[in-house]
Structure 1
Amino acid sequence: MVCFTKFREKTEQVGRWKIYETRYFRGQSKNQKCGVKRLCFSIICILLEVIFIITIVTRLNEYAEIINLFTRILSGILVLGLYASNKTSSMKMPWVILILIFPIMGVGLYLLIGLNGGTHKMRERYAEIDSKLLPMLPDSQECLSRIKETIPKAGNIASYIQRNSQYPIYQNTDIVYFDEAVKGLEAQLKDLEKAQKFIFMEYHAIEDAEAWHKIQDVLEERVKAGVEVRVFYDDMGSIGFINTDFVKKMEAIGIHCRVFNPFMPGLNLFLNNRDHRKITVIDGKVGFTGGYNLANEYFNYTHPYGQWKDTGIRLEGDAVQSLTVTFLEMWNAVSAKDANDPDFSKYLFHYDYAAQQTGFVQPYADSPMDNEQVGEEVYISMINKAEKYCWFMTPYLIITDEMTHALCLAAKRGVDVRIITPGIPDKKFIYNITRSFYHGLVKHGVRVYEWTPGFCHAKNECGR
């Protein structure tokens, strides 16, 4: 008699958390819209595949084998190239399957979407700016040596980040953690009022409403005091939040404003790449970052998805230089039509600051325009090195096979692995995808919690 192991998920409500766990028993086994041009191209690919199949069946029966063999050879060559590429299996296999089953449609869609990591000119602009900016960051070999001596595992990850993203590790930096976004906003407003030289703000989403108006009032006052103010936002992220004349409004009051990758249906092959950063830099001395954007719902001024949970941090000291570089990179590289900064030195400088905290800080940025998945590799490294616990908080749990394997293996090693996700979704389709990962994780001992009061947008990771 053959016995199979079956997994059953149990859901338990404990306070504001919905906990997912697994019980074992023996028994029987049982949105994003595309541009017009892309949409048309995709439809054409599908129609060509249908026409090809119909033609083979109705008119070209005697040549069917030859034609089919020819298309399979072409698709096979592409599949071999794709298989040999430096991508994860979760990125390659869907394309391989699609191309092998529907060669014409698969090849067409892959050439349109799969290869779109950024245009050649876009890559050149970023490379040019990075070649000027990144060398201006301080040499941190001494600091890197100290963390390797005191915390070898963290030092190993810090070395990887510095080698692959070129962002150094710092000490001499004080950090304040905000467990609610509104606390971060209040602290941000106070620091903005003290700005003397420049203010840089880069956000995925800005809403021309109450929260932003509080910030704008301070920015206008600082502009009148002679402070240089720049605001940078993602066009797709801010759709529905601001009108198309927002840039003109900001420029009219002295706030320099740029847009990342404007949404232009049918014209923009870089459409899927978005700026998801949330950064404020004040005089190169104080920086803010975290999960929250500058829209009312993030601060619970409005409640479209129940209570909104978000977090942030304030940095003061040497590490703010990396946030400054991150902003300047995007500001200068986003468009060839904009005038670039002729001199970065006035924004990147050393000043005397004596931090009270002695910990290590390493802000860094990642890009889709290279073959190194720095962010994912850092998380996997944290999971693999964890001995006691590894906790994650994320609004969208859509992970690769490599990440899934690392989480499950850590749990099987006895590490306390927990993941917090939203209880109320902001996008139901993504929420369903998130939940589809629960079973594969919890059956190996990963504990998944849903924050039931509303939408949890925080992005936090910690391990030991």
Structure 2
Amino acid sequence: MKKILSLLSNRLFVVAVLIIFQLVFMMAFLYGLGEMYRNANMIFLILSYVMVVYVINKQGNPTFKVAWCILILILPIFGGIFYLLFGDKKVPKALQKNMLASIQETLPLINQESTILSEVEKENYSAYKQFTYIWKNTYFPVYQNTSVEYFKIGEEKFAAMVTELKKAKHFIFLEYFIIEEGIFWDTILDILVRKVSEGVLVRVLYDDAGCVNTLPANYKKILESKGIECGVFNPLKARLVIQMNNRDHRKICVIDNNVGFVGGINLADEYINKKVRFGHWKDTAVMIKGEAVWSLTIMFLQFWNYVKKQKNIDFNEFKLKVDKIDDIGFVQPFSDSPTDHEEAGLNVHMNLINNARKYIYIETPYLVIGYEMQKALSLAAKSGVDVRILTPHVPDKWYVHLVSQANYLPLIREGVRIYEYTPGFVHSKTMVSDDVMGICGTINMDYRSYYLHYECGVLMYNTKALLDMKKDFLNTIESSIEITSEDCKNETLIKRIVRAVLNFFAPLM
């Protein structure tokens, strides 16, 4: 009985039920019109055929287009209406307009020194092109005088984060997709409350959908009662025209504009293996110190400005003097936004794969990829590049894992080596190539990260952390199993059919 009452009072469950109710009501209404007026069904059919022609001819990912065309033709009476409601996957106009305004306000604060890009160009032209792409399309520059420390497991990031937060003197910014009460968050929260009493400005921003099952609905007020400024991104609402797709999937911690954390690790106990859900949780992050932290500060302020609807803010008050860093290498934190129609996360991944000469090692929780990514991985492998991908053996979402596995065989046939982490779940999102180029961030290899979510990452060239990433990958696959073509072929027919169907409709999930 307690479980039933808990489910009925769950905010996500209530929102889902209300949306389903609206959808059923709409379908019943349309069906009723068809029964009452003979011409109604014909109008709906014509609309569906018009939508198919429109989808085929519009610009966009062909995988999306094919999936939607099939769905519309399977349900011709309702298909056209469904596409009008859900199909375009555009960011809601209000969200797009306000977010773009917030981003544009900060653009004058970020400048790219031409000498830095010129130096990269002399050392490595491929790296220069990658950095230039990000700068020209996401407006985040390349930095020197920045150190990068790689954490191969959540426990390491947790320890470093606690240490650095205790040193805060001016401000702390936290932006996370998931926050959950427990050892991890409670430890962080105690420090935040203490810092507030010391006069430190503390701001926390979390995604409403990400925290719907992990935090109370009134948690914003709870934090504010402790003196912590709080914002909630894109609150869940029971609307049929769903706006829940565009989530803030970023994980950013900024301290005094001098220390920043980015990676896959949320503020919840499974990320530090204090709570076991899917076996051992393998996740990664990086800590950067120095000049590049300014881009993370700007990223947070862009979202904070949007959520709080604040104007005429002096962002420069947060550009505090940073410690002198003598580490070698170049660092480029960047953010990917669905509001600008530039798939930066996807393109950065593609560039890393296409420019790899000797090897590229990839860790991702999901391998839900389209034709263009599959061809990039295959072409790299067929060109002699050592392409290896690490995915989970214990999934967090069984249906997504089946889609990932559906992509194994075509890649393995072309020479890509795929491993599953047998102790549990891999949540890290990293790529490292040729000892000189790599990325650590929040971007999964799936449609949601590439096209719908707000994401971030740190692109690195010639930093010491890259060798640590390579070493960690090679050590981790020692605890993993390599998937062979025989393994894929030996699966039951029913499982292969389910995989194929789910893989086909993956872009719509």
Give TM class, smaller chain: 0.7 to 0.9
In the aligned structure 1, how far is the partner of 2:241 from the partner of 2:27? Answer: 21
The yes-or-no answer on 1:369 pairing with 2:339 is: yes
Give 3-state SS (helix, strand or coil) of 2:209's partner. Answer: helix
Q: Give the deviation of 1:81 after TM superposition.
A: 3.0
Distance 1:154 1:333 in 2: 32
| Bigger Rg, which one | 1
**Larger deviation, residues 70-79 vs 242-251:** 70-79
Whether the 8 Å contact between 2:138 and 2:335 is mirrored in structure 1 is: yes
CA distance in structure 2 between the partners assigned to 1:107 and 1:43 by the alignment: 16
CA distance in 2, matches of 1:375, 1:49: 40
| Amino acid of the structure 1 residue aligned with 2:318 | Y
Name the structure 2 match of 1:348: 319
Q: Is the 8 A contact 1:169 1:361 kept in 2?
A: yes
CA positional deviation for 1:282: 0.3
Residue 182 of structure 2 corresponds to residue 209 of structure 1: yes
- Asked if 1:43 corresponds to 2:24, the answer is yes
Corresponding residue number in structure 1 for 2:411: 441
- Please give the alpha-carbon distance, in whole angstroms, between the structure 2 residues aligned to 1:164 and 1:273: 20
Deviation at 1:37, TM superposition (A): 5.2
Match of 1:88 in 2: 61
Partner of 1:386: 356
Quote the offset at 1:158 in angstroms: 0.9
Superposition pairs of residues 94-105 of structure 1, within 5 angstroms: 94-105=67-78
Note if contact 1:35-1:266 (Cα within 8 Å) is conserved in structure 2. no
* Secondary structure in 2 matching 1:146: helix
Question: What are the within-5 Å matches in structure 2 for residues 2-401 of structure 1?
Answer: 35-36=16-17, 38-44=19-25, 47=28, 68=42, 73-266=46-239, 269-334=242-307, 338-340=309-311, 342-349=313-320, 351=321, 353-401=323-371
What is the TM-score of this pair, normalised by structure 1?
A: 0.85
Instruction: Output one character per residue of 1:287-306: Cα deviation in whole Å (capped at 9) or x when no partner.
Output: 01111000011001111111
* In 2: Cα distance, 1:304 partner to 1:150 partner: 45
**SS across alignment from 1:284:** coil
Q: 1:45 to 1:102 in 2, by over 3 A?
A: farther
Structure 1 stretch 433-442 or stretch 265-274: which is displaced more?
A: 265-274
Q: State the AA in 1 paired with 2:389.
A: I
Among 427, 431, 442, the alignment partner of 1:461 is 431
RMSD, aligned CA: 2.4
TM-score by length of 2: 0.78
Deviations 1:132-155 (A, max 9, x none): 112211223221121122111011
Aligned AA (1:153): S
Gap regions ≥5 residues in structure 1: 1-31
| CA offset digits 1:316-342 (Å, max 9, x no partner) | 01111111111111111136xx44562
Structure 2: distance between partners of 1:210 and 1:238: 16
Deviation at 1:457, TM superposition (A): 0.7
The one of 365, 369, 394 equivalent to 1:424 is: 394
CA contact (8 A) 1:199 1:283 kept: yes
Residues 116 and 352 of structure 1: CA distance in aligned 2, closer, same or farther (over 3 Å): closer
SS state at 2:336 partner: coil
Question: 2: CA distance between counterparts of 1:138 and 1:363?
Answer: 13
Cα distance in 1 for residues equivalent to 2:21 and 2:343 = 31
Find the aligned partners of 1:251 and 1:71 in 2 and give their Cα distance. 50
Moved more, 74-83 or 436-445: 74-83
**In 2, are the aligned partners of 1:247 and 1:258 still within 8 Å (CA)?**
yes
For 1:76 and 1:386, locate their aligned partners in 2 and report how far apart those are by CA, in whole Å. 44
Alpha-carbon separation, structure 2, partners of 1:37 and 1:239? 16
Question: Letter of the aligned partner of 2:24 in structure 1?
Answer: I
Instruction: Give the 3 Å change call, closer, same or farther, for CA 104–146 of structure 1 in structure 2.
Output: farther
Any conservation in 1 of the 2:265–2:284 contact (CA below 8 Å)?
A: yes
- What letter matches 2:383 in structure 1? R
List gaps (5 residues or longer) in structure 2.
1-11, 435-509
Instruction: Tell me if the contact between 2:146 and 2:292 (Cα under 8 Å) persists in the aligned partners.
Output: yes
- Paired residues, number: 422
Matched to 2:230, the amino acid is: C
Q: Label 1:116 to 1:44 Cα distance change in 2 as closer, same or farther (>3 A).
A: farther
CA distance in 2, matches of 1:150, 1:227: 42
Greater fraction of residues in helix: 2
